[in-house]
Structure 1
Amino acid sequence: MRYFLLIVVGLIFCHDITAQPEKWGYWTKWGDQGNGTYLNPIIPSDYSDIDCIRVGDDYYAISSTMQFSPGMTILHSKDLVNWRICGNIIADLTEISPALNWDRMNRCGRGVWAGTLRYHNHRFYLYFGTPDEGYFMTSASQPEGPWEPLTPLLSEAGWDDCTVMWDENGEACFVGTHFADDYKTYLFKMSADGKWIDRESALLINSGNGREANKLIKVNGWYYLIFSEHKSGIGRYVMAKRAKNMFGPYQEEKQLALPSREAMEPNQGGIIQGKDGNWYFLTHHGTGDWSGRIVSLLPVVWENEWPIIGKSKHGIGSMVWSGKLPSKDGDKFKIQKSDNFNSSILNSQWQWNYQPRSEMYSLTDRPGWMRLKAFRPLKPNQLLKAGNTLTQRCFRKEKNEVVVKMDISKMANGQRSGLCHFSSQHGAIGVFKEGDIYFLEFRENDEVKRIRKIRTQYIWFKSNWGLDGVSHFSYSLDGKSFTTLDTGYQMVWGFYRGDRIGIYCFNDEREEGFVDIDYFMYE
């Protein structure tokens, strides 16, 4: 789950990469090309810790969400390339810990880490870990939910990257890595209903070298434990062990892919057979930058009954940047981004920074608008400690433009509201009300620069950025003519997350004031 930039020496390295961009992140095309082919990445956005299953003609994938709520995003596709957000599985993060609530905010970059999605006996199952609280599971009859309340499986800190399997005879097992103890990976017996694991049955099946990102699959009578490995001076790459019995012994071992550091180490994901009969690896790129850990789809070829990932050379795979669309039928889904707030419930692309204070926002007080009500942050004038910040993932594309229309007429003294880019650091353009005066301001890491006084009911905020991740903020008092600030903001990677864009609202003085947002348009 944790990945770091490393200098490469020692292992075989491959630079034969199809359609590789001259520099990481500077692609001009991506995803479905409209001619039966696709280009990686297929999702140039921070959908980290991906896992994937196929149920009939549909594909479902999950992505970790750390401290953001609701937790664990689930995606839906018909062809493994075009995806839409199906929903978010964990509605209440306080089922994990009160530290994930708006009044504590003590889990930045922690919270909901990698998980495994499975389909068994006509039911969807999610298993995931948090580094501080342990392992949890939930299930649902359909991917949109409702999902059951969380069931704790192992209440111990220091574990991550779990996976599960049910065999044909009804037996079940659970695999998890104790990263706090030299990355020792254990296999446990699990109850048939998936809600209990036998702690005393722990069987050591892997250890050392940062081994994690576990996924169990069964193909042609072999049980494969797919995982990633890291070695100092080498990088992170995909490995596998196999056995003829679900409970092992897992003695045979093989490296499936090279680190491909020039492609930011694609390494964690799900191996799946497509509707076309071919096999694929849906993976994130494990070394993050401002855009986070983005998603690619690599072919899988079977050699000597081992799944080799990407382009095979001498029995080991490397990054591939293009391929044939796995399926030409079905809907061409797109990740949702824009919102006009006409629904009475929040659309699925949105996530709060921590579990929100539910009475402090509304989609019904003023139909067609999102109302954000102001209250004190845990630390004065610190956006990262403000409880009413609504975010979504950014994309790494050539041209991005977000425009927000905001009614600021009901702001109160001491209130701040605006549009932000949000990670371990932040940049923002917004309004601060002091007495009866409204000030336009630019914020960067809690340093505030006043731009000018304004007198208006409505204000429009805009952010433009490209492949370099530099945001240029602007504002308008009429929705037509925009003034761009002199200062650009460089988005960053932090807390295992890429940059997010969001809307914030807080008041250092008192619990008073609100803003209404008419729309959030992401072009």
Structure 2
Amino acid sequence: MIQRILYVGLITGFCILGDVTAQNTSNESNPVWGNWEKWGEQNDGTYRNPIIPADYSDIDCIQVGDDYYAISSTFQFSPGMTLLHSKDLVNWEFCGNIISDLTQIGTKLNWDQMDRYARGVWAGTLRHHNGRFYLFFGTPDEGYFMTSSSKPEGPWEPLTPLLLEAGWDDCTAIWDEDGKACFVGTHFADGYKTYLFPMAKDGKSINRKSAKLIHSGNGREANKLIKVGEWYYLVFSEHKPGTGRYVMARRSKKLFGPYKEEKQLALASREAMEPNQGGIIQGKDGKWYFLTHHGTGDWSGRIVSLLPVIWIDGWPLIGKVLPQQIGTMQWEAPMPAFSSPKLTLLRSDDFDSEILGPQWQWNYQPRKDFFSLTERPGWMRLKAFRPIESNQLLKAGNTLTQRTFRKQDNEVIVKMDISQMADGQRNGICHFSSHHSALGVVKEGTQYFIEYRNNGHILKGNEISTSFVWFKTCWGMDGKSQYYYSLDGDNFIQFGEPYQMVWGNYRGDRIGIYCFNDKSESGYVDIDYLHYR
């Protein structure tokens, strides 16, 4: 899941083609990273990558009947592990978020500790077995967990610990035709040793003592265990210095191995930010696809693409197959299927429901009594309380977030009623990952002031005297945000310097609404809407 730089040695007798490189040309069919003018389904029966130009990291997917489901890791954000739904593998909508209470994992993920940046809910595996949905996932500090549900939208059972031990990541699981089950996980803290564990039929326990070592080293992770025909395939990624991270597979005709045969399935495609982690799945057209994330060190995070898969000699080669019999990045392909109506990912919210939309996640497990969607119908109320560290946005426990998109033109406008703010209270709109910027209002005594924040730098603006204020942020492909505010909803005033969004804590940028008070647990702000155009 995490892109780490490690030495990759040559494995004798195995096919390692990491030194093969693809040409990086800049044209419409092979764009420079981040400068795509088209993405997703097109009007000519094709789709263009990325299919989701936003930070949906650590993708895995399954097909159940006529539907596709995919999960994405969420780290410290709550609710955890986003679940998506599709009919065609290209157009997606939210199905929900699976882990409602992150404190089931540990108290460090709660609003009063906030000690899991870059950690928390890492990669997982989604499975469907005997009419039930299963989620297996890991956290680098607490270990492996699972939960299940009879319906993808839930309710999902409370988390069951599988291995309470630090240093593990990127698990997968599978059942065979006889109901036997196994679980695979990587001990990255011990030389990236990947083990296969016998697993109980109900998925609620694994046998640590009977674990078998499959392989080790090379930064190997991103495990996905699938069966196609008579073969079981363990698909994973590894890293080679000077080459990058690329996709590999081992196979066996027996569930418990041995998995001796190995092949590299795709190049690192560094010009496309190393597509490397995801799930191989069959489309409704009978063809196969790799739903994957790519992008590291980039402000937009790890975005999602769908690469065709071509089976050659029993191996699933990913993307455009080169004469060397290895795959590389492919930016466009025919649609796997056509569906109507077209599914889309929610972004805007008028807060008319009594529950938050699935596009939203709190920064850490929220303080439940300090927000409400019912006290003022049609508005979201955020109540202010002290951050863990004074005047530190990333240590303030009442910040509601969603993913930002890397598109040509982005505009987010938030309308706030600030009339009930208390002395010392701050609230507004923000961008953040490891760094942050924000534009909001601070109340000092009985006076209200506009305030711009850029990490530790704070710029105080004009005093305002209205009950309502609108905040706007705009950005383009370069990820440079400019803030504006308005006192009437029509005329916007630019304020603060442009902010370059950043990658940090293994996450791309997030847009957020924040509220905190350094002086007391008092005051609140009401949000009428967030419109994301």
TM-score range normalised by the length of the shorter chain: over 0.9
Question: How far 1:19 sits from its partner (Å)?
Answer: 4.2
Is 1:296 paired with 2:305? yes
| Letter matched to residue 401 of structure 1 | E
Alignment partner of 2:396 out of 378, 386, 391: 386
1:139 corresponds, among 134, 139, 148, to 148
Match of 2:95 among 70, 81, 86: 86
Aligned equivalent of 2:11: none
State the one-letter code of the partner of 1:418. G
Q: Partner of 1:67 in structure 2?
A: 76
| Secondary structure at 1:187 match in 2 | strand
SS at match of 1:464: strand
CA contact (8 A) 1:61 1:76 kept: yes
Q: What secondary structure does 2:495 align onto?
A: strand
Inter-partner Cα distance in structure 1 for 2:29 and 2:334? 16
Distance 1:7 1:452, change over 3 A: farther
CA distance in structure 2 between the aligned counterparts of 1:460 and 1:435, rounded to whole angstroms: 22
1:475 aligned partner: 485
Determine whether 1:32 maps to 2:46. Answer: no
How far 1:446 moved relative to its partner? 3.2
Matches within 5 A, 1:52-451: 52-313=61-322, 314-451=324-461
Contact map agreement 1:38 1:323 (CA 8 A) in 2:
yes
Contact 2:459 2:496 in 1 (8 A): no
User: Which residue of structure 1 lines up, in the alignment, with residue 3 of structure 2?
Assistant: 3
Q: Is the 8 A contact 2:7 2:218 kept in 1?
A: no
Task: Name the SS of the counterpart of 1:200 in structure 2.
Answer: coil
Q: Percent identity?
A: 69
Shift of 1:349: 0.3
Matched residue of 1:201: which SS?
coil
The whole-number CA distance in structure 2 between the counterparts of 1:67 and 1:11 is: 36
Tell me the secondary structure at the aligned position of residue 301 of structure 1: strand
Look up the match of 2:12: none
Q: How far apart in 1 are the matches of 2:434 and 2:365?
A: 18
Q: Work out whether residues 69 and 353 of structure 1, in 8 Å CA contact, stay in contact via their aligned partners in 2.
A: yes
Is the Cα–Cα contact under 8 Å of residues 6 and 233 in structure 1 kept in the other structure? no
Residue by residue over 1:264-283, the C-alpha shift from the partner in whole angstroms, topping out at 9 and shown as x without a partner, is 00000000011111000000
State whether residues 173 and 188 of structure 1, in contact with CA within 8 Å, keep that contact through their aligned partners in structure 2. Answer: yes
Q: The residue matched to 1:60 in structure 2 has which SS?
A: strand
Asked if 2 retains the 8 angstrom alpha-carbon contact of 1:391 and 1:502, the reply is: yes
Instruction: Give deviations 1:275-334, integer Å, cap 9, x for gaps.
Output: 111000000004241000000000000000000000111210000000111101343111
TM superposition shift of 1:35:
2.4
1:413 CA displacement: 0.1
Aligned-pair CA distance for 1:109? 1.2
Cα deviation 1:24-45 (Å, max 9, x = unaligned): 1011110011321110000000
1:512 aligns with 2:519: no
Preserved CA contact (<8 Å) 1:177 1:183: yes
Q: Following the alignment from structure 2 to structure 1, what is the Cα–Cα distance between the partners of residues 367 and 507?
A: 23
**Residue type of the partner of 1:424?**
S
- The alignment partner of 1:73 has SS state of strand
- TM-score normalised over the length of structure 1: 0.98
In the alignment, is the contact (CA less than 8 A) between 1:3 and 1:286 conserved in 2? no
1:161-193 CA deviation, whole Å, 9 max, x = no partner?
000000001100000000001100000000000
How many residues align? The count is 523
1:498 aligns with 2:488: no
Q: Alpha carbon RMSD of aligned pairs, Å?
A: 1.5
Secondary structure of residue in 2 paired with 1:180: helix
- 2:13 corresponding residue in structure 1: none
> Which amino acid in the other structure matches residue 214 of structure 1?
N
Within 2, Cα distance between the matches of 1:71 and 1:154? 19
Provide the rounded CA distance (Å) in 1 between the counterparts of 2:5 and 2:221: 17
Name the SS of the counterpart of 1:99 in structure 2. Answer: helix
The one-letter code of the counterpart of 1:506 is: F
Question: Are the equivalent residues in 2 in contact too, given 1:114–1:128 (CA < 8 A)?
Answer: yes
Asked if structure 2 preserves the Cα contact closer than 8 Å seen for 1:7 and 1:233, the reply is no
Matched letter for residue 65 of structure 1: T
CA contact (8 A) 1:275 1:327 kept: yes
User: Normalising by structure 2, what TM-score?
Assistant: 0.96
Q: Per the alignment, in what secondary structure is the counterpart of residue 103 of structure 2?
A: helix
**CA separation in 2, counterparts of 1:446 and 1:479?**
29
CA spacing shift, 1:21–1:458, aligned 2, 3 Å: farther
Preserved contact between residue 267 and residue 286 of structure 1 (Cα < 8 Å): no
Equivalent residues of 1:7, 1:235 under 8 A apart: no
Contact 1:426 1:444 survives alignment (8 Å): yes
User: What secondary structure is seen at the aligned counterpart in 2 of 1:238?
Assistant: strand
Are 1:458 and 2:471 an aligned pair?
A: no
Check the 8 A contact 2:24/2:271 in 1, yes or no. no
Q: What CA distance in whole angstroms lies between the structure 1 residues aligned with 2:504 and 2:407?
A: 20
